């Protein structure tokens, strides 16, 4: 998918510019991605309510997010095949139809098991949409304009985190959790209808293999790792020695299965890519710049997704903040990320990623270390300020990493690079959520067992979880010095861009 089918999308734009049809396609795909992100940002605020309404534990509830992200991690590797085998319009309609169906099932769900199923169906659609957006953007936008376009994209992307938690909090405190999905469903259906009418095809479908064994290995690999991490402290408070030993055995076996399956998955891809049949072509890692960027994205995603899941639990469970107030607390940070987007894009185009990544990682890391000091009497306004500072730090890191990583690989590998990037983000996010929630639950239970008050025990668990995120983010400061801006290559050129 390294060229534009001029029969579908006329190339009328001047060199370095983006034509009207190309812009419309990007913004339609972005609107669909906005709906998916809006759906995700509502869940963090909803989880504390769902724990009470559905009678489940925090470890159970995190599967509403973890199952979503794990499904994305399993489906995303297939998008390299889907984006080559089928037309842009076919892929878009399939993705939005799956997402809309999952949202409808969630809205009608009578309880926790079907709600998890609904999240899996939703994720199947979202998993296709995100790589489709990134691949299309990299294909249509000239290299010298990608930073600015990413900046504009970040404005729209930040609107969802800005309004999602606040609206979700209002709905949770008034008419209940079902209407979170009831709010998203009509927006998803409108995006599906408009996109089905206006989306043009990018490139030309071609023969692309699908390796079932690779899909199975990736499912066992990613699933084993994430499930193993959820078993940390799985014996729970009050569990006897036999239950604790059983949980430890399950954790060990799951992690071992995950590692072995992932090793086999990598071996399988290295073998298949010799004949261009790999499900996920790992030749993208021949670019050192891509590899470093992906490693940083992995660590950042573990810390970020884990933190945004733990924070509402801390706010509502320890500080007794309402769901609406929790949503309003994250509003300034989300707005800051959106407003900074164009500036970050211009700075990237002019000066490259390092001038953004170094201060960004330092700011984000410092914010997480502050969260390791919170307690049951920490002022709510202070949490809001630090969360806003954390958002600014993350805004300075994610956009440069997205742009620099994909710009470092050959155009013919854009679909595989997008799949690797999205898979890494989702698997790392799922692992971060599973690890931090499990640690928080285990420490909270252990502290409560010693006679500590409930709020103080909850604060101890939150601090332990935030400590994991802070340590992870500290690693990214060193990596920020090694990411470079690839030299611009002619659009559609098959050579590896310089700077790798």
Domain of 366, CATH number, reads 1.20.1250.20
Over residues 143-151, the mean pLDDT reads: 69
- Among 136-145, 190-199, 448-457, which stretch is predicted with the lowest mean pLDDT? 136-145
Residue 73 lies in a domain: yes
Given this model, what pLDDT does residue 494 score? 40
Q: Spell 31-56 as b/e; 16+ CB within 10 A means b.
A: ebbbbbbbbbbbbbbbbbbbbeebeb
Rounded to whole angstroms, how far apart are CA atoms 171 and 424? 32
What element of type H or E holds 310? helix 288-317
pLDDT of 362 higher than 90:
yes
Check: CB of residue 309 under 8 Å from CB of residue 482.
Answer: no
Q: What are the residues whose beta carbons fall under 8 Å from the beta carbon of 56, sequence distance 6 or more? A: 50, 112
Does residue 270 sit in the same domain as residue 182?
no
pLDDT digits (tens, 9 = 90+) for 219-274: 888 878 877 776 665 544 444 556 566 667 888 898 899 899 999 999 998 998 88
Rounded to whole angstroms, how far apart are CA atoms 169 and 190? 24
Check: CB of residue 125 under 8 Å from CB of residue 99.
Answer: yes
Check: CB of residue 262 under 8 Å from CB of residue 431.
Answer: no
Token digits for 197?
């009418």
Residue 344 lies in a domain: yes
Does residue 273 sit in the same domain as residue 398?
no
Which of the four pLDDT bands, split at 50, 70 and 90, describes residue 5?
very low
User: Which residue, 51, 53, 448, 71, is CA-closest to 233?
Assistant: 448
Counting residues of the chain whose pLDDT is more than 90, the rounded percentage is: 20
pLDDT digits (tens, 9 = 90+) for 297-326: 999 988 888 888 888 888 888 888 887 888
Question: How many domains is the chain built from?
Answer: 2
- Among 3-12, 439-448, 460-469, which stretch is predicted with the lowest mean pLDDT? 3-12
Does residue 398 sit in the same domain as residue 454?
yes
Check: CB of residue 371 under 8 Å from CB of residue 457.
Answer: no
Q: What are the residues whose beta carbons fall under 8 Å from the beta carbon of 91, sequence distance 6 or more? A: 82, 83, 128, 132
Among 210-219, 330-339, 348-357, 468-477, name the most confident range.
468-477
Alpha-carbon separation of residue 272 from 82, 160, 294, 416 (angstroms): 17, 39, 22, 14
Does residue 198 sit in the same domain as residue 234?
no
Check: CB of residue 342 under 8 Å from CB of residue 148.
Answer: yes
Residue 491 lies in a domain: no
Does residue 432 sit in the same domain as residue 385?
yes
Task: Say what the alpha-carbon torsion angle 56, 59, 65, 70 is, to the nearest 10 degrees.
Answer: -130
Given this model, what pLDDT does residue 361 score? 94
Residue 248 lies in a domain: yes
Does residue 289 sit in the same domain as residue 417?
yes
Does residue 202 sit in the same domain as residue 256?
no
Does residue 164 sit in the same domain as residue 200?
yes
- Among 255-264, 401-410, 491-500, which stretch is predicted with the lowest mean pLDDT? 491-500
Does residue 205 sit in the same domain as residue 324?
yes
Q: Spell 82-114 as b/e; 16+ CB within 10 A means b.
A: bbbbbbbbebbbbbbebbbbbbbbbbebeebee
Check: CB of residue 137 under 8 Å from CB of residue 149.
Answer: yes
Given this model, what pLDDT does residue 79 score? 75
Token digits for 359?
């201060």
Does residue 114 sit in the same domain as residue 52?
yes
Rounded to whole angstroms, how far apart are CA atoms 96 and 119? 14
Residue 412 lies in a domain: yes
Does residue 159 sit in the same domain as residue 219?
no
With 0-12 / 13-18 / 19 or more C-beta atoms within 10 angstroms meaning exposed / middle / buried, residue 475 is: middle
Alpha-carbon separation of residue 27 from 134, 135, 180 (angstroms): 12, 14, 24
Does residue 374 sit in the same domain as residue 443?
yes
Residue 3 lies in a domain: no
Instruction: Identify the domain boundary among 220, 248, 278.
Output: 278
Look at the chain and count its residues. Answer: 500
Containing structural domain, residue 454: 20-210+279-482
Instruction: Identify the domain boundary among 278, 298, 328.
Output: 278
């Amino acid at each position: 998918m390294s060229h534009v089918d001029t029969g579908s999308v006329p190339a009328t734009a001047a060199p370095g510019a983006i034509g009207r049809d190309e812009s419309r396609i990007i913004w339609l795909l972005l609107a669909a991605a906005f709906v998916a992100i809006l759906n995700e940002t509502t869940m963090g605020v909803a989880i504390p309510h769902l724990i009470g309404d559905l009678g489940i534990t925090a470890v159970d509830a995190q599967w509403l997010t973890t199952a979503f992200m794990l499904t994305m991690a399993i489906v995303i590797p297939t998008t390299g095949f889907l984006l080559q085998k089928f037309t842009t319009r076919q892929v878009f309609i399939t993705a939005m139809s799956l997402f809309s169906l999952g949202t409808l099932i969630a809205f009608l769900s009578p309880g926790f098991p079907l709600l998890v199923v609904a999240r899996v169906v939703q994720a199947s659609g979202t998993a296709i949409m995100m790589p489709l957006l990134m691949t299309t953007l990299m294909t249509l936008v000239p290299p010298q304009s990608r930073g600015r376009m990413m900046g504009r994209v970040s404005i729209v992307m930040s609107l969802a985190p800005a309004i999602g938690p606040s609206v979700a909090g209002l709905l949770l405190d008034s008419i209940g959790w079902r209407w979170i999905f009831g709010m998203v469903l009509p927006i998803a259906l409108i995006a599906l209808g408009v996109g089905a009418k206006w989306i043009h095809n990018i490139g030309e479908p071609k023969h692309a293999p699908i390796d079932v064994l690779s899909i199975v290995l990736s499912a066992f690999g990613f699933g084993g790792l994430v499930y193993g991490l959820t078993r940390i402290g799985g014996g729970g408070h009050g569990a006897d020695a036999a239950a604790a030993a059983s949980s430890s055995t399950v954790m060990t076996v799951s992690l071992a299965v995950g590692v072995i399956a992932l090793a086999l998955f990598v071996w399988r891809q290295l073998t298949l890519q010799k004949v261009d049949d790999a499900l996920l072509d790992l030749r993208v890692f021949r670019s050192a710049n891509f590899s470093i960027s992906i490693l940083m994205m992995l660590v950042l995603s573990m810390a970020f997704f884990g933190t945004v899941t733990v924070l509402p639990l801390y706010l509502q469970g320890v500080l007794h903040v309402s769901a609406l107030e929790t949503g309003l607390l994250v509003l300034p940070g989300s707005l800051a990320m959106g407003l900074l987007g164009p500036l970050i894009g211009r700075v990237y185009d002019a000066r490259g990623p390092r001038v953004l990544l170094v201060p960004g990682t330092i700011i984000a890391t410092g914010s997480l270390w502050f969260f390791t000091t919170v307690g049951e009497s920490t002022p709510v306004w202070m949490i809001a300020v630090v969360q806003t500072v954390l958002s600014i730090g993350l805004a300075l890191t994610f956009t440069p990493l997205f742009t620099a990583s994909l710009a470092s690989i050959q155009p013919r590998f854009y679909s595989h690079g997008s799949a690797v990037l999205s898979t890494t983000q989702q698997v790392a996010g799922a692992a971060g959520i599973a690890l931090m929630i499990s640690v928080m639950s285990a420490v909270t239970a252990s502290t409560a067992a010693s006679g500590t008050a409930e709020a103080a025990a909850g604060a101890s668990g939150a601090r332990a979880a935030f400590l994991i995120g802070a340590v992870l983010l500290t690693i990214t400061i060193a990596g920020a010095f090694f990411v470079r801006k690839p030299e611009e290559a002619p659009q559609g050129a098959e050579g590896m861009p310089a700077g790798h």
